[in-house]
Structure 1
Amino acid sequence: MTMALTVPARREASRLAGLPVVVIGAGPVGLAAAAHLLERGVEVLILEAGEAAGAGVSSWGHVRLFSPWSEVVDPAAARLLDAAGWDAPEARRLPLGSEVVRDYLLPLAGTPALSPVLRYSSRVTAVSRQGMDKTRSMGRADTPFLLRISTPTADETLLARAVIDTSGTLSNANGLLASGWNPTADGALWLANAMPDVLGTERARFAGRRVVVVGAGHSAANTLLALAKLKETEPETEIVWVIRNATPVRVFGEATDELAARGQLGDNTHSLVRRGVVELVDLFEIDDAHPDEEGVRLTGRRYGNPFELRGDIVVAATGFRPDLSILREIRLSLDDIVEAPRQLAPLIDPNLHSCGTVPPHGVAELTQPEPNFFIAGMKSYGRAPTFLMLTGYEQVRSIADELAGDPDAARVVQLILPETGVCSSGPGDGGSCCS
């Protein structure tokens, strides 16, 4: 009988010995992952593309969270901070994104435990296995990960025994058009990203203009409220809200929301529409955008008929998607539609679940065909707009137990989330439950 040898006999010590677990991203979930790993005695290295921790959160620092401080701080991270003499914020208060960075993420990154293992301005551009592309199998699990990193001075590579990708999705927005694409026309002057700082640094750009907000989620609602506030002192400002569905039920349907601030957001946005402050244009499928000297024309179909809408500025509050380009040589099993890990996708499907009805999950649902590679945090939710920080913290706690050699603890997942009716409508235009 002939036997095939799929894994060669080991003739030397493990190639993984002495290598760290690399965490991609120094946001809330990435820092929490590192805190949990260090607590279990696992060597870790955090790679952050920005110049400081929480760079992604800083981009929407003017936005107030729905969750109070008690649901923003990870337990392992709190233990590191407490040991460093941290003055914890008042647990019931709702912080701004900028306060999360200033009062939590930056102090956490500066603790004696995390500061030495953080590398800033280090963007991961590719992940693979040392000497192996995706097609090679023999000895794969015992082969170190190879990461290519771009820094301001040079490109370099490093090795890891495991990788946790918590790089998020904020840098990869969904397309403006109904097709999922972005317009071919240059949008530098007329197109704004989700959650612009309407009342702060970008006030002059929006004051007195006809602003079209595209999207049916919470990012859109926050922007509408800010524009309405701007209109109080700049009455020539016009606000148009475009959605693809018949109603923005993800925002409006929040009367029973256990996160009071999120429920109030829905009430306030609904009031703007009822009072005529915001013009709601429903069932508009945008096919293209045509800029001209007066602004931009959005063309498409409404109620099945050709339709055109003009604006000066378009805010694309259309949600986000994961950037999978750096993982081309990693073996992944992702849902075809949501682009989340295949075992997780049915648990977070926005057609079935809200932020609060997502069941507890951890390493069992996040395990990929690539051994010891995990996608966690907002990126693990793919295109689903149902992510909460608490969910990400439990994910990385479970992963840390797995990598520390405690698979039983890794599979005991417990999570109590605030119930809500949001995010359970049809496949709308995005938004995020944590922003």
Structure 2
Amino acid sequence: MVTSPVGYIPVEPASSSEDKDGAGDSLRSTTARRRTNSGGGPAKRSAALCRSQSFSREIGHAASETYLITRLAFTLLRYLGVGRRWITRLLALGLYAMLLMPGFLQVLYKYFTSSQIRRSIVYGDQPRNRLDLYLPKNIDSPKPVIVFVTGGAWIIGYKGWGSLLGFQLAERDIIVTCIDYRNFPQGTISDMVDDVSRGISFVCDNIAKFGGDPNRVYLMGQSAGAHISSCALLNQAIKESKGESVSWSTSQINAYFGLSGGYNLTNLVDHFDRRGLYRSIFLSIMEGDESLPQFSPEILVEDPNAKNAIPLLPHFVLFHGTEDFSIPPDSSISFVDALKRVGARAELILYHGKTHTDLFIQDALRGGKEELFDCIVEYLHAGDAEALANDATAPPRKRLCPEPLVKLAGLVSPF
């Protein structure tokens, strides 16, 4: 059953070299596929060879990432030590994933076999500077674009976590780019923000080549990804307000969507510590206690030194579940209040009874109609009568996981 928001608060304003190679490879692959459609035997053999080479590259990339993740996992264990709370949550996470495995396997299969996805496009020269691109089946006109930053407690974030969202929005003629970024201990928060900013710049510069509309680009983040992406957006606005050189502009972002995010780190340190993300490791991620205000968007927007950046910000739309215990809904409520005080455009939508993962995972696996999904689609298609008409007649999304398993997963969820 679809749950209606219990709060809807409108706030009106007061009176490297690999970058090019990665994009080039994707474009060359697209061109090769077009030639194959009209060619004969040699073209088919050439296409098969290209697919084989592409698959080999992906296997090699997967192997190197597996090695990297394994090595970083042991480094992370040295930071964490042996703690009952985080071990308990790790076990709960494993059970949670097992219960939802029927749905995850379907998404994983589609991720590796679908022709609608361009995987691991290189956007920068740092480790994990790659993004996935989810394309609609038919690109007969420029499509709106969502730049999505996944969550993962700043530790286990991965672009693949956005595949469910990417495929479902692509079915509604929306292009989705999922940006990967360095996690801790491979990088700290400033590295994550830099990576995301670099990814946004790449999308703004190149999305037209893939059928995207550069005039309809939207930024979205979930959980830690909402925090990182909002930091990248605010930092960019502050740089622009000071006349500094920038690689992309906040004017290129039509709106910002924040899902279950944390925007004032000084209020969350103790909360995270009680939930197993211990103070010592959290402060290591955030580069020390003294850096927390610098990476707290709620504090940044009220800094007098940032007042000239506020008019440059796009419309903020924040979503949060009232039963979110990983990041309390007060985080979004407080951030919207802060945006209101400085005259920024923002609105808040709260969902009664929803947890940290309900809106992003469980509800998406249930299929059917879901209010958060419909809200985003309607926002991106506003003003496009044809797209809105297609949305009205679109079939319900496919259920990917049996309801009993979804409910059990919600009960054991560590989030």
Instruction: Give the TM-score range, shorter chain.
Output: under 0.3
1 or 2, which has the higher helix percentage?
2
Return the TM-score normalized by structure 1.
0.27
